[in-house]
């Protein structure tokens, strides 16, 4: 057995004293050599505006008394400051003047250090140079399935204050209640916050952001919203993409409406986007409305396509607002059948159920109707023509030849019209 073992510390071994005492050990303890000096910098840890000036002093004291400031020098962030910035105020004090300060290099503050002649550190002070925060703006919020609220904002002055700036999202019910503070930050980016629960529906909230740093504070404008007006949901699940028989230019897309909102009255809108496998350009089909299936037409034969679907639960509980699109579903891939004939490019969501759909024919129809609307003075003519055109379309898969003749509807001189084939 060993006895009288040395302890890890010359002082009390078992108890860690409070930090201020630890600090005193760091600041005031003499070095191992005799005649060591220490110093004090004033001011300690000042906060300053960019472009302002600093006047500081380093007062040296130690053993033996009468320590001199001769030979002392300053460094800022490790770089020695030119001697013209310093002067001896008295035998034991070295002064420093720095003008037109730049913003702090690190959040923890710029290190201003007073050195002895031999380079040893006598004292230090940290400078905080920056700007007060500007008003945060552009607050946007959304609620996932009416259960929570996530908000994001833009910091004023693009966020660069050179000082740690604290952002606090606050919210309250508009007509009653106290201010609440959001607690879950950085959920969808550095300037965001998530309120996970205890939110009321059918009543407006006021939401704002407060920015605070060492130099001041700023408050955003207040955003007023009802949770029901900013609802989003999950992407549609179970998206399936399949071929339409042997049709080489079509794919069928099916999906399920998001289950989280299935019990609520709303008119969902859907959007589909698709792209060729080796392309980054998406094509968007916008006019899917409330369906949970769609046929893409006008595709290239023998080509792999990636397809995604998203949902907008607008009109929930009678809300008049547009709703917020969900994220896109995971990409689903499928390929069109191969064909010898070159396929047409581009396409749109086609109505399902037997109607022949051909890209060029549809384009011609749209062009024809567009021309009619622009030039026809007989308001009923376009509808009759469309009905007959539709009947013609149902009788044949493809139209290759069309006859163009002048029509009989009175109209302005010099205007050329395109009419339907002879059958009409």
Partner 1 sequence: MSLREGSLDPQADSSVSFLPHLEAKIRQTHSLARLLTKYAEQLLQEYVQHQGAPFGSPGFSPPRLPVAGLSAPAPGHAGLPLAERLRLDAEALAELPPLLDAVRHRQAELSPRALRLLRRLEDATRQTRALGAALEAVLAALGAAAPGPRREPPAAPGPAGVFPAKLLGLRVCGLYREWTRRTEGDLGQLLPGGPA
Which two three-digit tokens encode residue 64? 């033996």
Q: Does 124 bind partner 1 (CB under 8 A)?
A: yes
Q: Which of 52, 53, 90, 106 binds partner 1 (CB under 8 A)?
A: 106
Which two three-digit tokens encode residue 328? 């896109």
14 versus 320: smaller Cβ distance to partner 1: 14
How does DSSP classify residue 322? -
Q: How far is the CB of 218 from partner 1 (least distance, A)?
A: 19
- Binding segment for partner 1 (CB under 8 A), chosen from 21-29, 194-202, 225-233, 279-287, is 21-29
Distance CA 324, CA 225 (A): 13
Distance CA 254, CA 295 (A): 9
**Where does residue 402 fall: left (phi above 0), alpha (psi -120 to 50 degrees), or beta otherwise?**
beta
Yes or no: say if 423 and 392 are a contact pair by the CB < 8 Å rule: yes
Q: Does 14 bind partner 1 (CB under 8 A)?
A: yes
- Binding segment for partner 1 (CB under 8 A), chosen from 56-64, 115-123, 277-285, 308-316, is 115-123
Q: For residue 400, how many other CB atoms are within 10 A of its CB?
A: 7
Q: Which of 55, 120, 224, 279 binds partner 1 (CB under 8 A)?
A: 120
Q: Does 212 bind partner 1 (CB under 8 A)?
A: no
Q: Does 412 bind partner 1 (CB under 8 A)?
A: no
Yes or no: say if 192 and 184 are a contact pair by the CB < 8 Å rule: no
14 versus 374: smaller Cβ distance to partner 1: 14
Q: Does 25 bind partner 1 (CB under 8 A)?
A: yes
Q: Does 21 bind partner 1 (CB under 8 A)?
A: yes
Q: Does 396 bind partner 1 (CB under 8 A)?
A: no
Q: Which of 113, 182, 349, 419 binds partner 1 (CB under 8 A)?
A: 113
Yes or no: say if 358 and 398 are a contact pair by the CB < 8 Å rule: yes
Distance CA 97, CA 23 (A): 28
* Pairing between β-strand 93-98 and β-strand 86-90 as defined by DSSP bridges: antiparallel
105 versus 321: smaller Cβ distance to partner 1: 105
Yes or no: say if 57 and 44 are a contact pair by the CB < 8 Å rule: no
79 versus 197: smaller Cβ distance to partner 1: 79
Residues that bind partner 1 (CB under 8 A): 1-2, 5-23, 25-27, 29, 31, 44-45, 75, 77-79, 105-113, 119-121, 123-126, 164
């Amino acid at each position: 057995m060993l006895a009288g073992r040395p302890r890890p510390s010359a002082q009390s071994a078992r108890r860690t004293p409070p930090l201020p005492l630890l600090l005193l050990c760091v600041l005031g303890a003499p070095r191992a050599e005799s005649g060591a000096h220490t110093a004090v910098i004033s001011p300690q840890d000042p906060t300053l505006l960019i472009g302002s000036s600093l006047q500081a002093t380093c007062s040296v004291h130690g053993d033996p008394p009468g320590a001199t400031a001769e030979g002392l020098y300053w460094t800022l962030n490790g770089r020695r400051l030119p001697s013209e910035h310093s002067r001896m105020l008295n035998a034991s004090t070295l002064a420093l003047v720095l003008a037109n300060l730049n913003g702090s290099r690190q959040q923890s503050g710029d290190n201003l250090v007073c050195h002895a002649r031999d380079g040893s550190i006598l004292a230090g002070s940290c400078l905080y140079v920056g700007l007060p925060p500007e008003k945060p703006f552009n607050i946007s919020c959304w609620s996932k399935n009416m259960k929570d609220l996530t908000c994001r904002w833009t910091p004023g002055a693009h966020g660069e204050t050179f000082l740690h700036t604290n952002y606090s999202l606050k919210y309250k019910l508009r007509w009653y209640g106290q201010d609440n503070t959001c607690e879950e930050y950085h959920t969808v980016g550095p300037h965001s916050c998530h309120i996970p629960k205890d939110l009321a529906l059918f009543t407006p909230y006021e939401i704002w952001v407060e920015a605070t740093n060492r130099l001041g504070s700023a408050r955003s404008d207040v955003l007023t919203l009802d949770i029901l007006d900013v609802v989003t949901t999950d992407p549609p699940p179970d998206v399936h993409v399949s071929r339409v028989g042997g049709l080489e230019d079509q794919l069928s897309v099916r999906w399920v409406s998001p289950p989280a909102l299935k019990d609520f009255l709303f008119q969902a809108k859907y959007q589909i986007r698709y792209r060729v496998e080796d392309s980054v350009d998406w094509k968007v089909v916008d006019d899917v409305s409330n369906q949970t299936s769609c046929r893409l037409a006008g595709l290239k034969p023998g080509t792999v396509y990636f397809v995604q679907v998203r949902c907008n639960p607008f009109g929930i509980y009678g809300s008049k607002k547009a709703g917020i699109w969900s994220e896109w579903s995971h990409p689903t891939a499928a390929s069109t059948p191969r064909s010898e004939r070159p396929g047409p490019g581009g396409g749109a969501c086609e109505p399902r159920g037997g109607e022949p759909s051909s890209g060029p024919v549809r384009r011609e129809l749209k062009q024809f109707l567009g021309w009619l609307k622009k030039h026809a003075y007989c308001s009923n003519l376009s509808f009759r023509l469309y009905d007959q055109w539709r009947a013609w379309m149902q009788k044949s898969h493809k139209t290759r030849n069309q006859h163009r003749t002048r029509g009989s509807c009175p109209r302005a001189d010099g205007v050329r019209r395109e009419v339907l084939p002879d059958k009409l």
